[in-house]
Amino acid sequence: MTQAIFFVLIIFPGTGGEICVSRAMKTIGEVTDFRPHAIARFIGRALAVPWMWIGVAMMAMGFFALLGMLSVANVSFVFPATALSYAVGALGGKIFLGEKVTPQRWIGVLIVCLGVALVFIGKR
Amino acid sequence: MKSPEGLHFKTSLMILLMVIFGPLGDILLGKGMKKIPAMASWAPADVFHFFFAAFTSPTVWLGIGSLLTFFIAYMVVLSWADYSYVQPASALSYGLIAVLAYAVLHEVISPTRWAGVLMICFGVLVVGHTSPRTTPNTGSTTSAAITPRAAERAS
């Protein structure tokens, strides 16, 4: 049961946090000037968007859940299982950010999921 | 840079920065922290010495700098590209770690792990052939300050 709770906390707040950060960035608009002072201004604007802070807090929650999960489960199980976050991320992008996830992108995301799982299984 | 090629180019460039600086930051931070003696106790003096040692280590600062570079590249690329494009593409870092572990550290990489790395590269190639942006552009950060209406449109 503890493992299931940690697992849900890794996948959903972790990925949800990244989606919130993405939403914050879309609110600000596309970066077209890459000079250091323009990037610094962009970061300043990003930090003023509440979605950014919600995202960072959720990502922190996901990170601490990962630490908790590693204390109760084997690394060889934890990391391959977290590969699922790529599929959840694509679904979240579609639902919460209105992205068009084409069948081709879905196939790519699922191949990446399997690849990440294999990398960690192969690590032992 | 409004053409699809330009969009692909700057997206790939930012993802490359993420793929390089993310794992590099993790490695440097890990290496730096391992050189520091473990905290003897939770007594304020010991906690102070631990953090003093951590924040005076050049390796730790290089790690923090790398992770900051990673996060800025991540924020910048998400200002125009889809999250469902950036997230799988950034998994290329697993491939880079495996190649570096093999080439630099001479670690033995199992065939399963190589298969995983190849699969990630193939998956990223498939995702990379889709458009990096499928949502309307909310405008440039440098052309004008964000207006409440633009923010509303974006959300």
Estimate to the nearest angstrom the gap between the alpha carbon of A77 and the chain centroid: 19
pLDDT of residue B141: 54
Interface test with B, best of A11, A19, A20, A26 (most B CBs within 10 A): A26
Q: Where are the domains of chain B?
A: 4-154
Using alpha carbons only, what angle is made at residue A117 by residues A111 and A121, rounded to the nearest 5 degrees? 140
Identify whether the C-beta of residue A42 lies closer than 8 Å to the C-beta of residue B79.
yes
How far is B31 from chain A, CA to nearest CA, in Å? 19
Is pLDDT above 70 for B150? no
The ipTM assigned to this model is: 0.85
Q: Is A43 exposed, middle or buried (0-12, 13-18, 19+ CB in 10 A)?
A: middle
pLDDT of A91 reads 92
CB proximity A122 to B under 8 Å: yes
Do residue B124 and residue A104 have CB atoms under 8 angstroms apart? no
pLDDT tops 90 at residue B85: yes
What's the predicted TM-score (pTM) here?
A: 0.81
For residue A124, which residues of chain B lie inside 8 Å, CB to CB? 110
Average pLDDT, chain A: 89
Window 45-74 of B, Cβ < 8 Å to A: 72, 74
Question: Chain B neighbours among A 56-75 (CB < 8 Å)?
Answer: none
Place of tokens 């209105």: A98
Give pLDDT, residue A106.
94
Mean pLDDT of the B57-74 span: 93
Q: What is the pLDDT, as a whole number, of residue B145?
A: 40
Alpha-carbon distance of B71 to A38, in angstroms, equals 16
CB nearest B142 (choices: A18, A33, A90): A33
